[in-house]
Chain A
Amino acid sequence: MEAREHIIEVKDMVKKFGSFTANDHLTFHVERGEIFGFLGANGAGKTTAMRILCGLSYPTSGEIRVAGHDVYRERERIKRKIGYMSQKFSLYEDLTVSENIHLYAGIYGLGRKQIAVREEQLLERLGLAHVRNRLIREIPLGWKQKLAFSVAIFHQPAIVFLDEPTGGVDPITRRQFWEMIHDATEEGITVFVTTHYMDEAEYCDRVSIMVDGRIDALDTPAALKQQYESVNMNEVFLKLARS
């Protein structure tokens, strides 16, 4: 693989809460334009690490740069260059489709004209123009998720963080969502994603697996399956997290 720019660079990242070490000397990088799967059991420290990378929390120590910016001194710059979506927090239920787009685009500093043009393109592409004035809570979950993802990358961020984005939808909608993720990478957006669906780990370019605050494995899905003599990522995960 040709050497690509490291859009996320993490060296010796440590995060402690009192005597508890949530992130124990994490060192890894994410390349521009890749889909990076960030896996681990509940409580392994994924959310803690992700909050630091999003500029929401300070590490205890370590050298960390996200989209070229330092996580200690340039958090506001980082926030402008990233998008975020989770199953729990995405769109405002009591605003319409269009209002949500305007709200998020406005927060990221896009101008009115720019928003109007991109909104049309977006609604057209998603086939949601006919529900633009409907409240979010009135539209099906699968549509909401696709819209939430589109809104998270509306300002064309360098990186989008997806925290368990596909919970609860039917298997076809889940796959359509992953096709959208692939499309986003073709526009140069880097995707950093957590999931509990192990088949989705296979859709990532590289996958890291956290166990008790450390990264115990990091490689392409094919290499991990070979290394752990497993037929799929579920087996890899069970072997690592149970050992």
Chain B
Amino acid sequence: MSLIIDHIDLSFDTVQALRQVDFEVQDAELFGLIGPDGAGKSTLFRIMASLLVPDAGRCLMHGHDVVKDYREVRKIIGYMPGRFSLYMDLSVEENLAFYARVFGTTVEENYDLIRDVYEQIAPFKKRLAGKLSGGMKQKLALSCALIHRPEILILDEPTTGVDAVSRREFWDMLKKIQKEGITIVVSTPYMDEAEMCDRVALIQKGRLLEITDPSVPSRSDGTALFSLRSHKGVYAYLEKVRNLEACKHAWLFGDQLHVTLHSEGDAATAKSIIDGWGDSSLEWEKIIPSIEDRFMGLIEQESGEQHINGETF
């Protein structure tokens, strides 16, 4: 097992940042941690990186305890924090050389591993890191986190604020790194990126809600999910759908509404009411929940009706 998170608790003053967080990551797995800001993702990453000590529980990185064996842990992990933390007043190549030396290696020794990433920024190697664009900073940070060939790579929201094209390229790079046998734990607020992971943990308010394999359709919890489309646009139907007796929740979802019914048995009634709305372009069909649907379902379950006003306080 690459990584063992064993019932971790951590509080800051009165805020419980992590509550009984418990999971394991396999060797060479690409493991995603999905959740909004404030869910506790960064806190968990800092514990893994031996920068924070949990109040209770253990965290083992390849068998090394992050509290007792922190020196060993730091040798075998590569950590890319959420905030860009390279030296802005060093050039691209100076940053890379610096990180290599800190870890007692050279850029040449592990160049193969970073070649794909680094060659995209190599034309700018004399430029100061502070003068790079967001996408280039991200590539340099990844290069620096990889230069000592870590066994476990932990990436805290590497794609936040990054456009859809660069995000796709970044995930392609992660897939290649994974093939080198490196275990990757990565967090993201983008639900579509969950599909790229082997397994995903959904986290909200310091608690792990669920761990799932995105490629496996979700288990049924008795409710049924439907989508509604119309050539006239679906926003106009949002209130109407919510007012249906059979409707548990309805949300905008791209060019559709995603509608959860109280039970599968309500489907026929709902369909006949919708047919009566006189819009022949309305399409109503049962769908398989995506990761985002599942996460939304879990949040709704979690907070019940309190969520009407946003997050609970």
Complex contact B164–A241 (CB within 8 A): yes
Complex contact B162–A196 (CB within 8 A): yes
Complex contact A169–B253 (CB within 8 A): no
Confirm or deny: A237 has a beta carbon within 8 angstroms of a beta carbon on chain B: yes
Confirm or deny: B36 has a beta carbon within 8 angstroms of a beta carbon on chain A: yes
Q: Could you say which of A169, A179, A241 contacts B36, with CB atoms under 8 Å apart?
A: A169
A180-209 vs B, Cβ < 8 Å mask (1 yes, 0 no) = 001000000000000011110011000000
**Chain A residues, CB < 8 A from B238:** 179
Which of B68-76, B88-96, B108-116, B294-302 participates in binding chain A? B294-302
Complex contact B192–A168 (CB within 8 A): no
Distance between Cα atoms of A170 and B251 in the complex (Å): 13
Knowing A164-B161, A170-B35, the reply to whether A142 touches B310 (Cβ < 8 A) is yes
**Chain B residues, CB < 8 A from A164:** 161
Confirm or deny: A50 has a beta carbon within 8 angstroms of a beta carbon on chain B: no
Complex contact A172–B166 (CB within 8 A): no
Knowing A146-B310, A168-B189, A171-B295, the reply to whether A199 touches B253 (Cβ < 8 A) is yes
Residue picked from A40, A171, A197, most chain B C-beta under 10 Å: A171
In the complex formed, the residue of B with least CB distance to A178 is B252
Distance between Cα atoms of A192 and B244 in the complex (Å): 32
Residue picked from B38, B164, B167, B253, most chain A C-beta under 10 Å: B164
Distance between Cα atoms of A182 and B233 in the complex (Å): 12
Complex contact A196–B163 (CB within 8 A): yes
Distance between Cα atoms of A232 and B299 in the complex (Å): 25
For the complex, count residues of A whose C-beta is within 8 A of B.
Answer: 43
A22-63 vs B, Cβ < 8 Å mask (1 yes, 0 no) = 000000000000000000111110000000000000000000
Confirm or deny: B309 has a beta carbon within 8 angstroms of a beta carbon on chain A: yes
Complex contact A141–B36 (CB within 8 A): yes
Complex contact A202–B311 (CB within 8 A): no
Knowing A143-B311, A178-B252, A197-B190, the reply to whether A41 touches B296 (Cβ < 8 A) is no
Distance between Cα atoms of A44 and B168 in the complex (Å): 17
Q: What is the predominant secondary structure among interface residues of chain A facing chain B?
A: helix
Complex contact B251–A175 (CB within 8 A): yes
Distance between Cα atoms of A167 and B253 in the complex (Å): 17
Confirm or deny: B160 has a beta carbon within 8 angstroms of a beta carbon on chain A: yes
Complex contact B165–A172 (CB within 8 A): no
Knowing A170-B35, A172-B300, the reply to whether A140 touches B313 (Cβ < 8 A) is yes
B206-227 vs A, Cβ < 8 Å mask (1 yes, 0 no) = 0000000000000000000000
- Separation in Å of the B6 CB from the closest CB of chain A? 26
B residues near A (Cβ < 8 Å) are: 35-39, 133-135, 160-168, 189-192, 204, 231, 235, 238, 251-255, 292, 295-296, 299-300, 307-313
Q: List 15 A-B contacts (CB under 8 A).
A: A41-B166, A42-B161, A42-B166, A43-B135, A142-B311, A171-B295, A172-B251, A172-B296, A175-B252, A179-B252, A196-B190, A232-B255, A234-B164, A238-B168, A242-B165
12 more CB-based (< 8 A) A-B contacts, given A175-B252, A241-B163:
A41-B163, A41-B164, A127-B309, A140-B311, A167-B161, A169-B189, A176-B310, A232-B255, A233-B254, A237-B164, A238-B165, A241-B164
